[in-house]
Amino acid sequence: MKSLHEQKLLLAMLVGIVAGGFSGYFWGSAMQSVAWLGELFLTTLKMLIVPLIAASVITGVAGLGDVRRLGRMGGYAVAYYACTTLFAVSIGLLMANLWQPGVGVSLAADAHAPKPAVGDIGFSDLILSLVHPNIIAAAADMKLLPIIVFCIAFAAALSTLGERGRPVIAFFESLNDGMMKLVEWIMWFAPIGVFALIASKLGAAGGGEAFVAQLAGLGKYALAVISGLLTHAALLCLFLAVLARRQVGDYLKHMATALMTAFSTASSSATLPLTLEGVKMAGVDEKARRFVLPLGATVNMDGTALYEAVAVLFIAQAYGIDLSFGQQMLVLITATMAAIGAAGIPEAGLVTMVIVLEAVGLPLEGIGLLLAIDWFLDRCRTTVNVFGDSVGAAVVGRLIGAKGGA
Ligand code: ASP
């Protein structure tokens, strides 16, 4: 896409978000009449996810040529995901200890909130979620992790076949190009889509006054999460400049449409097509972005990890339970696991938080305290999740020593 087109689209999306905010604020529930437009945008993006992930991962891995290079790229990616997620949880713990957002919060209002429906999720469940008995059923259920694992293995196998593997790789190359063309087309609908998503969600939350009241009720908690997310975003910018040697402003400009979509949809999976497009525009190495982004959108969730740490400490403080240093270290580990286990869909982090609460023995009902404002904080953390993925692609792209993009 030409740069002028990119700028026009950016401006139109900004107008869409601001207009959506105003309309939802002033017209409240009346704006639910445009919810279907937001749904249309979201569903259209989701429609691309499975073929795009398959084509992207297979061409990214097969493009490496030598299977041994896959180990190096995978190693860098996993190291980046692990380090940045641990940094994010640490920042979350720091913010919650600093702001003490749960101290003095009344438990009465939400004491009977329903418990989230989730069973125990342990380490073995995380490993088992890498595979699926039926790859078609996994695709139909949008279980992305087994699809990615399958595609990595399949592409590695293809690349060992030499000439015989070429036609299949060429097919996926064309599929990838066709999908990216569709992404360009869908992006022209994005300004209307983000307008409708923001306006209808704010409307569903009761409009401007209700939102301000919710925010005021959990003000310190929201502040702790948002200041943590901003601190982590600043750290990611530092990584971008130092490790990936990128011009931060320039990179953010290319990523802006994806970040705005992440904020509007609260889904890193649905945003993936635009993240791929943004990182491509920023000139990140083709193989790195095609491999690192789909994996990142599924397992790398810095914003979610940070938010889970703040939320769990908030609940402990609200119940007057003091978490020792050792217990906070347990939060560090389990929040990292919970963020990996969270799907890239709206409010998934709220559900996997159960892992962390159970690990430190906190009441699951505490989640009820956070519900009112979660729809908004979800958008903020999803934006950081997507930014973290894109920085990961740039860092890995630089580390594998490749230059430029397709
Ligand atoms: N909505 C987030 C995402 O899609 C996940 C979460 O934290 O709920 O990245």
pLDDT tens for each residue of 169-182? 999 999 999 999 99
Beta carbon of 382 within 6 Å of any ligand 1 atom: yes
pLDDT of residue 257: 93
pLDDT of residue 125: 74
Mean pLDDT, residues 13-33: 88
pLDDT of residue 108: 57
Mean pLDDT, residues 258-286: 94
Distance of CA 100 to the CA centre of its chain: 26
**Range name among 57-66, 151-160, 291-300, 389-398 with the lowest pLDDT average:** 57-66
Going from the Cα of 383 to the center of ligand 1, the distance in angstroms, rounded, reads 9
151 and 55 Cβ atoms separated by less than 8 Å: no
44 and 189 Cβ atoms separated by less than 8 Å: yes
Comparison of pLDDT for 248 and 340, the residue scoring more: 248
Beta carbon of 379 within 6 Å of any ligand 1 atom: no
**Range name among 30-34, 226-230, 290-294 with the lowest pLDDT average:** 30-34
pLDDT of residue 10: 86
For 117, what's the count of Cα atoms within 13 Å in the CB-facing half-sphere? 0
Is pLDDT at 122 greater than 70 in this prediction?
no
Which token pair is 334? 């389990």
* H, E, C per residue of 156-188: HHHHCCHHHHHHHHHHHHHHHHHHHHHHHHHHC
Beta carbon of 352 within 6 Å of any ligand 1 atom: no
Which residue lies with its CA nearest to atom 6 of ligand 1? 349
Using 50, 70 and 90 to split pLDDT, how confident is the model at 406?
very low
Q: What is the mean pLDDT of the chain?
A: 88
Which residue lies with its CA nearest to atom 3 of ligand 1? 344
Q: Give me the domains of the chain, ranges plus CATH numbers.
A: 4-402 (1.10.3860.10)
pLDDT of residue 172: 93
Mean pLDDT, residues 295-324: 93
Report the atom number in ligand 1 closest to the C-alpha of 303: 7
Q: Among 271, 222, 166, 195, which Cα is nearest to 18's?
A: 195
Report the atom number in ligand 1 closest to the C-alpha of 382: 9
Residue 43 burial class via C-beta count within 10 angstroms: exposed 0-12, middle 13-18, buried 19 and up: exposed
Q: Among 396, 345, 400, which Cα is nearest to 43's?
A: 345
Mean pLDDT, residues 23-31: 85
Beta carbon of 301 within 6 Å of any ligand 1 atom: yes
* Phi, psi dihedrals of residue 197, rounded to the nearest 5°: -65, -45
pLDDT of residue 63: 82
Give the whole-number percent of the chain exceeding pLDDT 90.
54
Which residue lies with its CA nearest to atom 1 of ligand 1? 346
Q: Among 106, 101, 338, 333, which Cα is nearest to 221's?
A: 101
Using 50, 70 and 90 to split pLDDT, how confident is the model at 110?
low
State the residue for tokens 């580390």: 399
pLDDT of residue 121: 58
Report the atom number in ligand 1 closest to the C-alpha of 345: 4
Q: What amino acid is encoded at 285 in this protein?
A: D
- Mutation pick for ligand 1 pocket among 378, 380, 384, 389 (CB with most ligand atoms within 8 Å): 378
Q: Rounded to whole angstroms, how far apart are CA atoms 39 and 36?
A: 5
Is pLDDT at 27 greater than 60 in this prediction?
yes
Going from the Cα of 298 to the center of ligand 1, the distance in angstroms, rounded, reads 10
- Mutation pick for ligand 1 pocket among 45, 345, 371, 389 (CB with most ligand atoms within 8 Å): 345
Q: How many CB atoms lie within 10 A of CB 375?
A: 18
- Mutation pick for ligand 1 pocket among 42, 46, 304 (CB with most ligand atoms within 8 Å): 304
Most confident segment among 97-106, 108-117, 155-164, 240-249 = 240-249
Going from the Cα of 159 to the center of ligand 1, the distance in angstroms, rounded, reads 34
Going from the Cα of 241 to the center of ligand 1, the distance in angstroms, rounded, reads 26
Going from the Cα of 212 to the center of ligand 1, the distance in angstroms, rounded, reads 23
pLDDT of residue 405: 40
